[in-house]
């Protein structure tokens, strides 16, 4: 007989949603165990003996974990469905033959690296604020910010909390690393964050008086974007293990492997991938120089 397991873990292992989303499903009364609706997050069940249903559908046990990297084009939302009818990133993973979900989000107009998986445990670990997993973006700005303004962003700056117009108050961002990548009237910067607040980069630059024209995520922890827009590839076993290392916890603090965190600016800018691992065709993640 198997040991009882928390419901949210069982649901995440079945590849339905992440553990955090599974908790929301339980609280919303959308989960049943042996015909009874369960709304307590501490409830445990036996995945081999109990009949567990989510939105009326019976779970069939844990799925084989899959880990995909998608180069999300702009104009897609990172949800399974959208009440406004906008296209979602699920379009790009249908042919994978397994249900996966996005880890974190890229907003509708942003593009770049999006991790998708049915491993709820890893997804939950990666999105915890305490994990401090680095996300690297190439950001095109309208106009040239002053060094004083950029230093404000590097130190942390107050931005609006939540969605625009929500009036949820203001919050201080974590310090960011910002590096000029292409000097022009509308320059490109490499921005490295360890959090993922709603439209955070756009709000940060707006606070110092500059509109963000483009955002492309090119790095997520140890992962580096290396597929064309709209394309998907499976992560290698080594890459999955590197992701696990990035969120491994010691003494209550997330530890990021130094070799991973300092893998090099060349990889982050899409200039070189290095000979260590075999990859499919490498593409540049840095935009071509635009005509003046």
Tell me the per-residue pLDDT of 92-128, one tens digit each, with 9 for 90 and over.
988 777 778 899 889 999 999 999 998 888 988 898 8
249 has which bridge partners? 254
Whole-structure pTM value: 0.70
Q: Which CATH superfamily is domain 5-58 in?
A: RNA-binding S4 domain (3.10.290.10)
- CATH code of the domain occupying 63-292: 3.30.2350.10
Phi, psi for 24 (deg, rounded to 5):
-65, -40
170 has which bridge partners? 160
Residue 107 appears among annotated catalytic residues: yes
**Range from 178-192, 210-224, 244-258 carrying the lowest mean pLDDT:** 244-258
Q: Which of 242, 142, 267 is nearest to 192 (CA)?
A: 267
pLDDT of residue 107: 92
Strand, coil or helix: 115: strand
The full set of domain ranges for the chain reads 5-58, 63-292
Tell me the per-residue pLDDT of 1-44, one tens digit each, with 9 for 90 and over.
467 889 998 888 887 788 888 999 999 999 999 989 999 998 99
Q: Which two tokens stand for residue 100?
A: 């996966």
Q: Which of 107, 119, 183, 226 is catalytic?
A: 107
């Amino acid at each position: 007989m198997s040991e009882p397991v928390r419901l949210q873990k069982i649901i995440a292992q079945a590849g339905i949603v992440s553990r955090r989303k599974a908790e929301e499903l339980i609280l919303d009364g959308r989960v049943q165990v042996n015909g009874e609706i369960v709304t307590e997050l501490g409830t445990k069940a036996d995945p081999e003996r109990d009949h567990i249903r989510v939105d009326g559908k019976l779970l069939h046990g844990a799925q084989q974990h899959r880990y995909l990297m998608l180069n999300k084009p702009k104009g897609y939302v990172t949800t399974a469905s959208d009440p406004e009818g906008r296209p979602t990133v699920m379009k790009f993973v249908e042919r994978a033959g397994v249900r996966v979900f996005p880890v974190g989000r890229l907003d509708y107009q942003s593009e770049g690296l999006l991790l998708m998986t049915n491993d709820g445990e890893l997804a939950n670990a990666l999105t915890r604020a305490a994990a401090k997993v680095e996300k690297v973006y190439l950001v095109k700005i309208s106009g040239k910010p002053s060094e004083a303004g950029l230093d404000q962003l590097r130190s942390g700056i107050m931005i609006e909390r939540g969605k625009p117009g929500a009036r949820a108050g203001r919050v201080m961002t974590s310090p960011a690393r910002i590096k000029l990548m292409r000097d022009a009237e509308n320059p490109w910067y490499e921005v490295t964050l360890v959090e993922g607040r709603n439209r955070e980069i756009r709000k940060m630059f707006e606070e110092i008086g500059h509109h963000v024209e483009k955002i492309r995520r090119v790095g997520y922890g140890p992962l580096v974007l290396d597929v064309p827009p709209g394309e998907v590839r499976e992560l290698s076993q080594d890459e999955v293990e590197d992701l696990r290392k990035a969120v491994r916890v010691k003494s209550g603090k997330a530890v990021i492997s130094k070799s991973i965190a300092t893998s090099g600016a060349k990889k982050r800018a899409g200039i070189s991938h290095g000979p260590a691992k075999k990859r499919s065709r490498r593409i540049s993640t840095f935009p071509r120089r635009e005509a003046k």
